[in-house]
Amino acid sequence: MGEVEVHALRGVNLELFAREFVVLLGASGSGKSTLLNILGGLDAPTTGVVECRGHPLTGAGDEELTRFRREHVGFVFQFYNLIPSLTARENVALVTEIAADPMTPESALALVGLEDRMDHFPAQLSGGEQQRVAIARAIAKRPDVLLCDEPTGALDSTTGILVLQALERVNAETGALTVVITHNVVIGSMADRVINLSDGRISGERRNAERSAAAGLHW
Amino acid sequence: MTALHRKLLRDLYQLRGQMAAIALVMVGGIGTMVMALSNYHALSDTRALYYDEYRFAEVFATAKRAPLPLVEAIRGIPGVREVEPRVTGFANLEVEGYDEPVTGQIVSLPGPGDPGLNRLYLRQGRVPLTDGEVVVSEAFAEAQGLRMGDSLVAILNGRRQALLISGVGLSPEFVYQIRPGDFFPDFKRFAVLWMARDPLAMAFDMDGAFNDLAITLTREAREADVIDALDALLAPYGGTGAHGRDLQTSHRFLDEELGQLRVMTYLFTTIFLGVAAFLLNIVTGRLVGAQREQIAVLKAFGYSRWEIGRHYAELVLLLVSAGVLPGLALGAWLGRGMAGIYMDFYRFPFLEWSLPIPVVVLAFGFALAAAALGTFGGLRRAFVLPPAEAMRPEAPAVFRRTLTERLGLGALLDPTARMILRNLERRPLRSLMSVLGIGLGIGIMVMSRFQSGAIDEMVDVQFGFAQRDDLAVTFTEPTSWRASEELAALPGVRAIEPFRHAAVRLRHGHREYRTSLQGLPAGADLKRVLDDRLRPAELPQDGLLLTDYLADLLDVRPGEELEVEFLQGHRRTVRVPVVGTVREYLGVGAYARREVVNRLLDEGAAISGAWLALVPGARQEVLRELRRLPRVAAVTDRAAMVQSFRDTMAEGILKFTLIATLMAGSIAVGVVYNASRITLAERGRELASLRVLGYTRGEVRALLLGELFMLTFLALLPGFVFGFGMAAVLVIGFESDLYRVPLAIAPSGLAFAGLAVLVATALSGLLVRRRLDELDLVAVLKAAE
């Protein structure tokens, strides 16, 4: 059996702006995660150029990418990816300890409404709470870019909305460019801009005249 | 404390079971290493200090009788610093309440104010002040329960003399207190006595003369030149050839022992290093595998590769140090105890014991080396893991039909057996490593059993098969044939075989060796020589038989000629053909018919002693009669000597076997327990799924325990091979002209090792069983894959 080359993304041209709330919509296998990984400096495209504020990310070495992530990017993952051996507060501290101008873990957790659950271990938190810890962890460094990979994918709608409210608030209060990838079309209505991905290409883009509040979403 | 450090501590807590298993192996490895090394250092430091402070001589010589004025000429030899002329001799001793023959070696002390060489260390009492006083050696005094103020009788040159013990002492000359020519110490039947020079000289007709020299050299002296000059000066006075420390009996045995300790240290250290590295490898590999996502998250948030690498390196360091400190403590404790056991054999006035800093550093270095070796792969994976890739779950393992199934024997396997086999085959390298690790445990156990078995074999061959006399009688000097008739006529003597032994220097090309040429009666039955398959061999009409090891040392083959220089009598040098080789485990020697030796020495039918076989029950009577014969210098009771050896060795060997068994057991438990924990961690989900599907606890247990026992069974054969290999390394390392250890491993040793490791497996099975029974079925199924 020979190897088959698969292009996860092809011909993607995209410009994202500070303070924006962007939703990337697409089905499984459409290349959403790959795009997110490239935007976050986790992965590098085989060809093409990625720049952040005039700094090229393509061709950057591991050390530069690490510094980029450390200084500018916050990640939220579908399965939270909290360190199970650390409490909520310590999970956030993991990031604030290496950031240049972080907020305190306590205020980051307060921002997502978890001020009462700070000393709980992930196993003692519900899925929604875990995801909110993950958001607190992502925003505590005051990132320029907040990248969220299916943040509500593993949650029921009520809990998912709590998480989206947290993202909405963080976006408003910190001014971080927030990119949410999801296959849930409903979430698109809370975005400034919705970008559709299919088969590794941008198949559509629309700007919402008016953003709906996360609290009003329903699915 | 940073969050990452907290993670470290909590991960360690999570890993405590496996950490304990690794620590167990590390404690065992470092413990053994520190024990052997510190014991080695203690013995060699103590020896060096003792030799130095008590002025141990560097060159030794004996003569038949040399006049004291000759000492001035000896002092004039370039390179000689100090000379102490002494009188020494052997005497039969009588200890009240003890009927057995006791031999004493009596050594003269220098006059008052003369520091002398090979100085006496007095444990008790004082030096002799009057003619009838002696200092006795500590080992003998302890074995016989003698104290200052007690007395004993010596037959000095045929005259009975009562001696009062004025003190108990030790000397660097007799650290290993053994009768010349013997292989084992017998503290009850061999004594060293120190007497004032004048009365001893009178007793041995050495007034104005000496028969023994102790010499120290200047820094720039060449020992060989001094020995040559000395031999030339002493030759007219019956000199038997001077020699350096290398041929001094006590020093040689001590040297040999230290050499063996070194071999053991290297061997054990290597084994434990290997096993510890292996365990660390598995644990870190597994850890990194299980924490892929955590590593990815850390990387995604901007932790650099170095920070993550350091995090896991710290984890490994902590894992390792959990073993180092207790290992050091255990090793120090055991080393001290071991040195104590050695002090029973090797008599030092003090023990210079410390835990040398280099040993501590080495222990840490050893642990770090094991950690580095073992965790390099796992750390490298943590280091290079691309963050994006780490976010994806690890690719599912590829399973194949097992070899058994592919061979068409699959129908013979039930589903459980099939799962076990497939799982072992899925990770062939890890299964192999587990098998090898358990095999090492088995090997160490086989080796530890091998030691006592081999010593039994040596003693059985030498003193059961080659030598079969009841008593060996040695005369003060070569005696006419009539003496043997006298012995034969003693009531109770069933058979007698007179022998002629002569000190010789054998030379072939540039190689030479000092030994004793033993002239045995043709068709001897009480002392037999054995061929390479340990069958009794005939002595040739003419020519010599050499111990095979000696033939190798001299690089001489049967059919070639050897130059034999006699160190006594007319001191002739003759060329004699080597006819064949013989095998023996203890010592080396040259053998010929007695008449051949007599002829080579150009003497009549002289004998130097005889082997006696006694009629049952006649022993005490014969011993009494022998004591009355003035010419008898020493009587050796073979059975009693072997018994005493076994008694003395038994304790030491028992302790050694116990320690080695515990170490091997700890290795086995460490490896098996780790294997089971990893299996449990990797397949907990699978096992829980089986339980959800309706498998009983027992069936799930069978799956995991079956795998463990499978690994252990597979390890039996390689384990035995390892055991043989390690024993062979020991055999080669221990090989010397003093003795060769046979590579003999009893089936009982193999059985014991196998059984012990199976027990260790069952034990670790019990340890994981609890975890297995507590599998959280719901949680396992709920967790994100």
Minimal CA separation from B386 to chain A, in Å: 8
Q: Domains of chain A by range and CATH?
A: 21-45+55-216 (3.40.50.300)
Mean pLDDT of the B374-395 span:
70
Across the interface, do A40 and B300 touch by the CB < 8 Å criterion?
yes
Distance, CA of B478 to CA of B487 (rounded, Å): 15
Q: Check if B73 contacts A (Cβ < 8 Å).
A: no
For residues B244 and B209, state if they share a domain: yes
The ipTM is 0.78
DSSP per-residue codes, B256-270: HHHHHHHHHHHHHHH
For residues B531 and B441, state if they share a domain: no
Distance, CA of A134 to CA of A112 (rounded, Å): 10
Q: Check if B388 contacts A (Cβ < 8 Å).
A: yes
- pLDDT by residue (tens digit) across B579-631? 999 999 888 899 999 999 999 999 888 999 999 999 998 988 998 888 888 78
Across the interface, do B301 and A74 touch by the CB < 8 Å criterion?
yes
Which has more confidence, B429 or B706? B706
Chain A residues within an 8 Å CB radius of B387: 42-43
- Is the pLDDT reported for residue B183 higher than 80? no
Report the candidate in B92, B90, B89 with the shortest Cα–Cα distance to residue B629: B92
Distance, CA of B326 to CA of B25 (rounded, Å): 11
Across the interface, do A62 and B388 touch by the CB < 8 Å criterion?
no
| Reduced DSSP (H G I as helix, E B as strand, rest coil) percent helix, strand, coil of chain A, to 5 | 35, 15, 45
Asked if B632 and B92 count as a contact pair (C-beta separation under 8 A), the reply is yes
Minimal CA separation from B675 to chain A, in Å: 23
- pLDDT by residue (tens digit) across B83-139? 999 999 988 899 998 888 888 999 999 988 788 899 999 999 999 988 899 999 999
Across the interface, do B7 and A90 touch by the CB < 8 Å criterion?
yes
Minimal CA separation from A112 to chain B, in Å: 19
For residues B92 and B233, state if they share a domain: yes
- Is the pLDDT reported for residue A1 higher than 50? no
Q: Check if B429 contacts A (Cβ < 8 Å).
A: no
- pLDDT by residue (tens digit) across B440-473? 888 888 887 887 788 888 888 988 889 899 999 9
Asked if B146 and B128 count as a contact pair (C-beta separation under 8 A), the reply is no
For residues B272 and B137, state if they share a domain: no
- pLDDT by residue (tens digit) across B537-562? 999 999 999 999 999 999 999 999 99
Across the interface, do A98 and B303 touch by the CB < 8 Å criterion?
yes
Across the interface, do A86 and B6 touch by the CB < 8 Å criterion?
yes
Residue at B499 is within a domain: yes
Minimal CA separation from A208 to chain B, in Å: 30
pTM for the predicted model, two decimal places:
0.74
| Cα dist from B314 to B307, B309, B372, whole Å | 10, 9, 12
pLDDT of residue B676: 79
pLDDT of residue B139: 93
- pLDDT by residue (tens digit) across B127-150? 998 889 999 999 999 999 999 999
Radius of gyration of chain B (CA): 33
Asked if A164 and A187 count as a contact pair (C-beta separation under 8 A), the reply is yes
For residues B210 and B183, state if they share a domain: yes
- pLDDT by residue (tens digit) across A37-93? 888 888 888 888 888 888 888 888 878 888 888 888 888 887 788 888 888 999 999
Q: Which amino acid, one-letter code, is at B573?
A: T
For residues B659 and B766, state if they share a domain: yes
**Structural domains counted in chain B:** 4
Given B213, B248, B283, the domain boundary residue is: B248
| Cα dist from B111 to B85, B117, B215, whole Å | 11, 12, 17
Residue B145's region, left for phi above 0, alpha for psi from -120 to 50, else beta, is: left
Token digits of residue B377: 């792969």
DSSP per-residue codes, A87-136: -HHHHHHHHHTT-SSPPPHHHHHHHTT-TTSTT--GGGS-HHHHHHHHHH
Which has more confidence, B571 or B215? B215
Q: Which amino acid, one-letter code, is at A202?
A: I
Distance, CA of B352 to CA of A134 (rounded, Å): 62
Place B778 in a pLDDT band, splitting at 50, 70 and 90: low
Across the interface, do B304 and A63 touch by the CB < 8 Å criterion?
yes
Q: Check if B304 contacts A (Cβ < 8 Å).
A: yes
Minimal CA separation from B279 to chain A, in Å: 23
Token digits of residue B592: 């010929």
Residue B496's region, left for phi above 0, alpha for psi from -120 to 50, else beta, is: beta
Q: Strand (E) positions, B204-357?
A: 209-217, 243-244
Token digits of residue A14: 């995209």
Place B499 in a pLDDT band, splitting at 50, 70 and 90: very high
Tell me the three-class secondary structure of B395-414, residue by residue. CCCCCCCCHHHHHHHHHHCC
Number of Cβ within a 10 Å radius of residue B328: 22
User: B125: domain range?
Assistant: 59-248
Longest dimension (CA), chain B: 102
Residue at B459 is within a domain: yes
Four-residue CA torsion sign, A60, A63, A66, A67: negative
Minimal CA separation from B304 to chain A, in Å: 6
Distance, CA of B597 to CA of B605 (rounded, Å): 9
Across the interface, do A42 and B302 touch by the CB < 8 Å criterion?
no
Which residue does chain B place closest to A65, by CA atoms? B302
Across the interface, do B388 and A37 touch by the CB < 8 Å criterion?
yes
Distance, CA of B581 to CA of B591 (rounded, Å): 9
Across the interface, do A69 and B299 touch by the CB < 8 Å criterion?
yes
Across the interface, do B3 and A74 touch by the CB < 8 Å criterion?
no
Asked if B595 and B463 count as a contact pair (C-beta separation under 8 A), the reply is no
Helix B357-384 / helix B16-53 crossing angle, nearest 10 deg: 150
For residues B243 and B329, state if they share a domain: no
Mean pLDDT of the B509-526 span:
91
- Residue the block writes with tokens 């018994």: B643
Distance, CA of B232 to CA of B242 (rounded, Å): 10
Given B343, B373, B395, the domain boundary residue is: B395
Asked if A151 and A170 count as a contact pair (C-beta separation under 8 A), the reply is no
Residue B694's region, left for phi above 0, alpha for psi from -120 to 50, else beta, is: left
Chain B residues within an 8 Å CB radius of A69: 299-302
Question: Which residues of A touch chain B, with CB atoms under 8 Å apart?
Answer: 37, 40, 42-43, 62-63, 66-71, 73-75, 77, 79, 81-83, 85-86, 90-91, 93-95, 97-99, 137, 141, 154
Strand partners, A178: A21, A146
pLDDT of residue B578: 95
Across the interface, do B301 and A94 touch by the CB < 8 Å criterion?
yes
Residue at B602 is within a domain: yes
Token digits of residue B136: 């006795």
- Residue the block writes with tokens 């050695």: B342
| Cα dist from B603 to B543, B570, B669, whole Å | 17, 9, 68
Place A19 in a pLDDT band, splitting at 50, 70 and 90: very high
Q: Check if B3 contacts A (Cβ < 8 Å).
A: yes
Token digits of residue B319: 């894992």
Given B230, B248, B266, the domain boundary residue is: B248
Distance, CA of B286 to CA of B485 (rounded, Å): 81
Residue at B633 is within a domain: no
Place B48 in a pLDDT band, splitting at 50, 70 and 90: very high
Across the interface, do B2 and A97 touch by the CB < 8 Å criterion?
yes
Residue B567 is given by DSSP the state S
- pLDDT by residue (tens digit) across B152-175? 999 887 788 999 999 999 999 999
For residues B741 and B676, state if they share a domain: yes
Residue at B210 is within a domain: yes
Across the interface, do A75 and B294 touch by the CB < 8 Å criterion?
no
Chain A residues within an 8 Å CB radius of B681: none
- Is the pLDDT reported for residue B686 higher than 80? no
Token digits of residue B17: 């079971």
DSSP per-residue codes, B706-769: HHHHHHHHHHHHHHHHHHHHHHHHHHHHH--SSB-------HHHHHHHHHHHHHHHHHHHHHHH
CA A8, chain centre distance (Å): 19
Q: Which H or E run contains B441?
A: helix B428-460
Residue at B286 is within a domain: yes
Minimal CA separation from B9 to chain A, in Å: 9
Residue A213 is given by DSSP the state P
Across the interface, do B302 and A81 touch by the CB < 8 Å criterion?
no
Residue at B488 is within a domain: no
Minimal CA separation from B295 to chain A, in Å: 9
Strand partners, B582: B547
Residue from B293, B295, B391 to probe the interface with A (highest A Cβ count within 10 Å): B391
Residue at B302 is within a domain: yes
pLDDT of residue B32: 80
Minimal CA separation from A209 to chain B, in Å: 33
Across the interface, do B4 and A67 touch by the CB < 8 Å criterion?
no
Strand partners, B165: B134
**Mean pLDDT (chain B, rounded):** 85
Q: Check if B309 contacts A (Cβ < 8 Å).
A: no
Four-residue CA torsion sign, A19, A25, A28, A29: negative
Which residue does chain A place closest to B13, by CA atoms? A85
For residues B218 and B264, state if they share a domain: no
Across the interface, do B302 and A97 touch by the CB < 8 Å criterion?
no
Residue B527 is given by DSSP the state B
Four-residue CA torsion sign, A115, A117, A120, A125: negative
Chain A residues within an 8 Å CB radius of B303: 66, 70, 98
For residues B68 and B45, state if they share a domain: no
For residues B723 and B770, state if they share a domain: yes
User: Which among B2, B294, B302 has CB closest to A83?
Assistant: B294
pLDDT of residue B453: 82
Which residue does chain A place closest to B15, by CA atoms? A85
User: Which among B294, B301, B387 has CB closest to A95?
Assistant: B301
Distance, CA of B586 to CA of B364 (rounded, Å): 39
Across the interface, do B3 and A94 touch by the CB < 8 Å criterion?
yes
Across the interface, do A73 and B784 touch by the CB < 8 Å criterion?
no
Distance, CA of B325 to CA of A174 (rounded, Å): 51
Across the interface, do A81 and B10 touch by the CB < 8 Å criterion?
no
Distance, CA of B218 to CA of B235 (rounded, Å): 23
Across the interface, do B2 and A93 touch by the CB < 8 Å criterion?
yes
Distance, CA of B526 to CA of B611 (rounded, Å): 7
Radius of gyration of chain A (CA): 17
- Is the pLDDT reported for residue B507 higher than 90? yes
At B473, is the secondary structure helix, strand, or coil? Answer: strand
Q: Check if B152 contacts A (Cβ < 8 Å).
A: no
Four-residue CA torsion sign, B204, B210, B216, B222: negative
Q: Which distant-in-sequence residues (6+ apart) come within 8 Å of B379 by Cβ?
A: B284, B288, B309, B312, B313, B316
Asked if B620 and B99 count as a contact pair (C-beta separation under 8 A), the reply is yes
Place B378 in a pLDDT band, splitting at 50, 70 and 90: confident
Strand partners, B586: B739
- pLDDT by residue (tens digit) across B279-300? 777 777 777 777 777 888 888 8
For residues B593 and B551, state if they share a domain: yes
